[in-house]
């Protein structure tokens, strides 16, 4: 039943192509960002959860509240 419904829709074959193009463009943009991202930014973000100073400052702020 569902197969007949989809076959009767005009220009249904364009939607898989559109979704593939959107996915491929997103993937290319993501790859571009990974290779061109500032290495200092990546380093800072990777160390953020383990940064002792930030953890101590946030705990002091929480105690003051």
Residue 64 pLDDT more than 60? Answer: no
- Entry pTM: 0.54
Alpha helices in the chain (DSSP H): 2-7, 14-36, 39-47, 52-64
Residue 5 pLDDT more than 90? Answer: no
- Give the per-residue pLDDT at 40: 92
Tokens of 34: 């990974």
pLDDT digits (tens, 9 = 90+) for 13-48: 888 899 999 999 999 999 999 999 999 988 888 888
The residue ranges of every structural domain in the chain are 14-64
């Amino acid at each position: 039943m569902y197969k007949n419904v989809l076959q009767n829709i005009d220009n249904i074959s364009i939607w898989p192509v559109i979704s593939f193009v959107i996915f491929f463009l997103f993937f290319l943009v993501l790859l571009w960002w990974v290779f061109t991202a500032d290495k200092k930014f990546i380093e800072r973000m990777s160390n953020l959860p383990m940064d002792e100073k930030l953890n101590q400052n946030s705990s002091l702020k929480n105690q003051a509240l």
